[in-house]
């Protein structure tokens, strides 16, 4: 058995697909990667809140008062009053009747999908959905149909051909983490209505970034009150902390508390994390200038790369990929960028389709215009060195 695993590791290495852990210490717009300080263009700390003093102080105070660990799952004795405060803040922020916090985006997606979707259901999943959505669908044992990325026509064709009596689910990311483009939520809602389906949207990369108060892409398009829509979000990206959440009607939360295995059978989040989550919700609502700055920097960065001849795909968010193609060339470009002081990671299959290896850049509000100019210059040089432009 060991021989087989070693052979697989060798195969990944030969295909330039082998991954490795690197020591990283992030702070603001920079990161110390393997001992070298670099401009951090590889994080998902979109609003620059991960080291915000107010989140730190909220977490430290909670730790001083309540200790480090939760001590049990939420359904035993781990449902700390700080959960109630954070979930109340969520309800107010999202203008929802109820909210439920999970330990991570991965456990939220797996828990919600397996609790709500049955083996007799039909699921229609965007082919570029996050791995946590894919795994949740698999664990549900439902029949799954993958539709081409954001292809509304193919999705409708699949829905038309499905048995009318079957319960149907449309599952999608709101913002796609490797491409930086948005799901066509208005069109998906229309199909949801037409074919009496349920739409599940993962707002992981849109929460805090889009919407009048950073609520997410559903709010951005005015779809937050649409029936038969379930939204999942995370604290671990734009909100700078950790954990995830579901918002909706009270029955949904009550049902998940009684059926979501990833909630029932895991130790609750530490009090410090819950306190930081509540602080982050308040900041996201009260400081829209963070979002405005983020979008301005992102647009500037993307436009400059496109003018240089880089392929940034369909990006329209702070996630800006540069499509490279072969795995080895993406790895080479990533290494050149790191030598030049830019933290940028090569994303390769199976995370992205074969032949579309890329450098995925992510902007944050902690950056300056000077940071963007410097990054573009060094990316241009690396692109020329690997023959991309």
177: annotated active-site residue: yes
Could you say which of 237, 295, 334, 362 is catalytic?
A: 237
2 tagged catalytic? no
> Catalytic one among 104, 140, 177, 236?
177
**Does 237 qualify as catalytic in the annotation?**
yes
Question: Contacts for 8-17 with beta carbons within 8 Å, 24 or more apart?
Answer: 15/327, 16/326, 16/327, 16/328, 16/330, 16/331, 16/348, 17/327, 17/348, 17/349, 17/350
- Pick the catalytic residue from 130, 205, 219, 295: 205
Tokens representing 191 are 């199909």
Cite the active site residues.
Answer: 177, 205, 237
């Amino acid at each position: 058995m060991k021989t087989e695993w070693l052979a697989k590791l060798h195969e990944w290495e030969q295909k330039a697909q082998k991954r490795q852990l690197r020591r990283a210490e992030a702070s603001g717009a920079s990161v110390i990667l393997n001992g070298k300080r670099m401009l951090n263009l590889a994080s998902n700390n979109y609003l620059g809140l991960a080291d915000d003093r107010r989140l730190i102080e909220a977490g430290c105070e909670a730790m001083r008062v309540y200790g480090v660990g939760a001590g049990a799952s939420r359904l035993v004795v781990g449902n700390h009053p700080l959960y109630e405060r954070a979930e109340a803040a969520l309800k107010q922020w999202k203008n929802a009747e109820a909210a439920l916090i999970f330990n991570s985006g991965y456990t939220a997606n797996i828990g919600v999908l397996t609790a709500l979707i049955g083996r007799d259901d039909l699921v229609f999943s965007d082919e570029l959905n996050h791995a946590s959505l894919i795994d949740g669908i698999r664990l549900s044992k439902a029949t799954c149909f993958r539709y081409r990325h954001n292809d509304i026509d193919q999705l409708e064709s699949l829905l038309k051909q499905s048995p009318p009596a079957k319960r149907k689910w449309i599952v999608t990311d709101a913002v796609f983490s490797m491409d930086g483009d948005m799901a066509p939520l208005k069109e998906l809602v229309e199909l949801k209505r037409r074919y009496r389906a349920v739409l599940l949207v993962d707002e992981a990369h849109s929460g805090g970034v889009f919407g009048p108060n950073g609520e997410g892409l559903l709010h951005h398009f005015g779809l937050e009150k649409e029936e038969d829509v379930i939204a999942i979000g995370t604290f671990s990206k734009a909100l700078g902390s950790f954990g995830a959440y579901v918002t909706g009607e009270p029955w949904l939360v009550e049902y998940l508390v009684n059926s979501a295995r990833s909630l029932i059978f895991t130790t609750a989040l530490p009090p410090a994390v819950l306190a930081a989550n509540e602080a982050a919700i308040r900041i996201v609502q009260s400081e829209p200038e963070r979002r405005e700055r983020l979008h301005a920097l992102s647009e500037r960065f993307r436009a400059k790369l496109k003018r240089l001849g880089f392929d940034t795909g369909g990006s329209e968010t702070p996630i800006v990929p540069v499509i490279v193609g072969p795995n080895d060339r993406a790895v080479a470009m990533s290494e050149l960028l790191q030598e030049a002081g830019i933290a940028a990671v090569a994303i390769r299959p199976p995370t992205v389709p074969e032949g579309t290896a890329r450098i995925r850049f992510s902007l944050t509000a902690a950056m300056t215009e000077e940071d963007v100019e410097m990054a573009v210059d060094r990316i241009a040089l690396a692109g020329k060195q690997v023959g991309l432009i």
